[in-house]
Amino acid sequence: MSVRRNTALPLEEAVSDPLGVLAAFSRDLAVSLDLEGPLSSLLAGILRAVDAEAAGLFLTADDGALFCRGSMGAIGGLVPQGDPLFARCLEHGTVECDYQDPLRCGDSAWHSLLCAPLTLNGNRLGVLAVANKRNGAFTPDESGLLAAAAGAAALAISNDRLTYALDCQKGVGRDLELAAEIQRNLLPHADPAGFPVVGLNRPARLVSGDFFDFFPLDERRIPFALADVSGKGMNAALLMAKAAGLFRCLAKTYDDPADLLAAINRETCETASRGMFVTMVAGIYDHETGALWFANAGHEPPLLRAPDRSYRSFPAEAPPLGILPDLTFETHGIELAGGEFYIFTDGLTEYRYGEQEALGVEGLIQLVESHADLPLAERLNALLAELDHEGWEARDDLTVLAIDDAWVSRHD
Amino acid sequence: MRDEVSEIDGKVVVKLSGDVDLEHCTTVRGLLLDGVSHGKDLLVDLSDVSYLDSSGIASLVEAMQIAARNGTALKLFSASVQAMRVFELARLDKVFAIHPDLDAALAS
């Protein structure tokens, strides 16, 4: 085999020269967007270089079966995969050649065979085979060429598979980003300065299993809700979207929060899967009188902060939604009387600094007190900003909703 | 997390340990669903559970719902302080049968 150092070969000569075949394959790969063209050129170059009738590239599928990825010559795709040489090449990862015996079998269609394994990092991807040398037997140099070509093809195929996997990942990533955007749009965007109810949501991942909602039902009443779906990620986000839709729709029909939760629970139970459930506090606030009614389905106890800075919590009296279809709930009526009402997910109270104790309800109350003089929206932002210091870690989605009855007197 | 499965008096007993959370819920779910697939009551020992989150609870809920459809029951017993606090806070004590110990669960 002669070694050529001059790369300016005429095309036909380059692809019949062993090194030229590999160089042409590299060049083709560099400018091609897919593998089809470079693989065809490689197989054609090999056929010319070894002067054989057929060349085929066979890959192993996930189920272990071989399939033809590309072929050249009228019978290229028909190279006998059941031949002992072929099987040995695949099993042992060795170059197998019958160049000692051109008439190796009595089969009239196949009188010679040369196989090289496609191997990368110990993984056998398949076999590159040429068959039926026209004159004489395959030579050791031709075995070397096929082994080198198989190595280059294995690398190219592996890269192609990685590119495909990355493309799929990018597709999933784009879908997630779109889902996150749609989810953010499910949350209300009220003017913080013009509304006595404010909420914040910070997902632990791209999408959230928490939601909050509120909207003016009429000139006085504002239905509100905050919920936490079990689990995290896309399955939680999908159930969150359903629960949010149910609340937005049914809160216009049910005046009593207990009836509202019972209706959402029945609907959720009909389609809940894998044991998923929703904890939710839902209610209605009359900003003219300061009266507030709410019901709690298995959620963290909301907090009432009175104007004298005393606190009262309201533990749940019923389990979460989506588990038992025939649940009843209890409505609590309270007077805010210039006070504030806070609903939050356990992502907030379980926020922790390193291995230290979680923030807890006491920690949350301290944070509220340290920013109590700020307007409501700024207060919530300041509260979350306190948790943004290095070392603090969120284990869960984090959501808080606050109702400020003092807002009414400040804006009258 | 180290979980154990045994059979006592014709009932499957699964002991969950450590953090029963999102990170381990695939293992926990597999154990519980396998536990309710034998047509026998499933008793779940929660004495060594140090942390229980909503993903872990969802696995218990799913196993309980499957058991109910199969005409069997899922019962919890010896819940750790941490696990019991979660059940009480979310009023899941109204959903699950929670017994003080194995004997009580077997006798129920």
Confidence of residue A160 (pLDDT cuts 50, 70, 90): confident
- The torsion angles phi and psi of A241, rounded to 5 degrees, stand at -65, -40
Full DSSP string of A305-318: E-TTS-EEE---SB
**Cβ-nearest to A317 among B57, B62, B91:** B91
Which two tokens mark A288? 């003219």
The structural domains of chain A, with segments of one domain joined by +, span 11-160, 174-411
Q: What is the CATH number assigned to the segment(s) A11-160?
A: 3.30.450.40
Tell me the pLDDT tens digit for each residue of A2-34.
333 333 334 344 445 767 788 878 777 777 777
Find the CATH number of the domain harbouring B55: 3.30.750.24
Tell me the pLDDT tens digit for each residue of A292-323.
999 999 999 999 999 999 999 999 999 999 99
Is B108 a member of any domain?
Answer: no
Q: Which residues of A touch B (CB under 8 A)?
A: 228-232, 274-277, 279, 298-301, 315-320, 323-324, 395-396
Q: Which residues of B touch A (CB under 8 A)?
A: 22, 25, 29, 53-55, 57-65, 89-92, 94-95
Q: In A, which residues are within 8 Å of B62 by CB distance? A: 274-275
Q: State how far the Cα of A234 lies from the Cα of A193, in Å rounded to an integer.
A: 33
Which two tokens mark A284? 């209605």
For residue A171, the model assigns a pLDDT of 79
Tell me whether residues B90 and A319 touch, CB distance under 8 A: yes
Give alpha helix (H) positions in B1-108.
25-35, 54-69, 81-89, 102-107
Q: State how far the Cα of A300 lies from the Cα of B83, in Å rounded to an integer.
A: 15
Confidence of residue A117 (pLDDT cuts 50, 70, 90): very high
Note whether B61 and A275 are within 8 A (CB). Answer: yes
User: What average pLDDT does range A333-345 have in this prediction?
Assistant: 95
CB-count burial class (<10 Å; 0-12, 13-18, 19+) for B2: exposed
Confidence of residue A1 (pLDDT cuts 50, 70, 90): very low
Chain centroid to Cα B16, Å, comes to: 7
- Which of 3.40.50.450, 3.40.50.720, 3.60.40.10, 1.20.120.450 is the CATH number of A174-411? 3.60.40.10
Q: State how far the Cα of A109 lies from the Cα of A79, in Å rounded to an integer.
A: 10
Is B107 a member of any domain?
Answer: no
Report the domain count for chain B: 1
Q: For residue A346, what are the contacts with CB-CB under 8 A and spacing of at least 6?
A: A228, A300, A396
Is 50 exceeded by the pLDDT of residue A209? yes
Is B60 a member of any domain?
Answer: yes
Rg (CA), chain B: 12
Which two tokens mark A346? 């356990």
Tell me whether residues A320 and B92 touch, CB distance under 8 A: yes
Q: Are strands A303-305 and A340-344 parallel, antiparallel or unpaired?
A: antiparallel
Tell me the pLDDT tens digit for each residue of A29-48.
777 777 888 888 889 888 88
> What ipTM was estimated for this complex?
0.93
Chain centroid to Cα A173, Å, comes to: 6
Q: State how far the Cα of A195 lies from the Cα of A342, in Å rounded to an integer.
A: 15
Full DSSP string of A181-194: HHHHHHS----GGG
Q: In B, which residues are within 8 Å of A277 by CB distance? A: 54, 57-58, 61
CA distance A406 to chain B (A): 30
Nearest-Cα residue of chain B relative to residue A323:
B61
Q: Which residues form the domain of B17?
A: 4-102
Q: How many residues does chain A have?
A: 412
Per 3-state DSSP, chain A is made up of helix, strand and coil in percentages (nearest 5) of 40, 25, 35
Q: State how far the Cα of B84 lies from the Cα of B100, in Å rounded to an integer.
A: 11
Confidence of residue A163 (pLDDT cuts 50, 70, 90): confident
Closest-CA residue to A70 (of A52, A82, A86, A56): A56
Which two tokens mark A206? 């791209």
CB-count burial class (<10 Å; 0-12, 13-18, 19+) for A101: exposed
Note whether B44 and B74 are within 8 A (CB). Answer: yes
> B71 — alpha (psi -120 to 50), left (phi > 0) or beta?
left
Q: In B, which residues are within 8 Å of A237 by CB distance? A: none
Q: For residue A157, what are the contacts with CB-CB under 8 A and spacing of at least 6?
A: A35, A59, A69, A118, A125, A126
**Cβ-nearest to A279 among B61, B63, B90:** B90
Q: State how far the Cα of A252 lies from the Cα of A85, in Å rounded to an integer.
A: 75
Place of tokens 């000692």: A100
For residue A140, the model assigns a pLDDT of 86
Note whether A53 and A59 are within 8 A (CB). Answer: no
Beta bridge partners of A130: A55, A114
Closest-CA residue to A244 (of A291, A185, A297): A185
The low-confidence residues of chain B, meaning pLDDT below 70, are 1-3
DSSP-derived 3-state class of residue A297:
strand
Is B67 a member of any domain?
Answer: yes
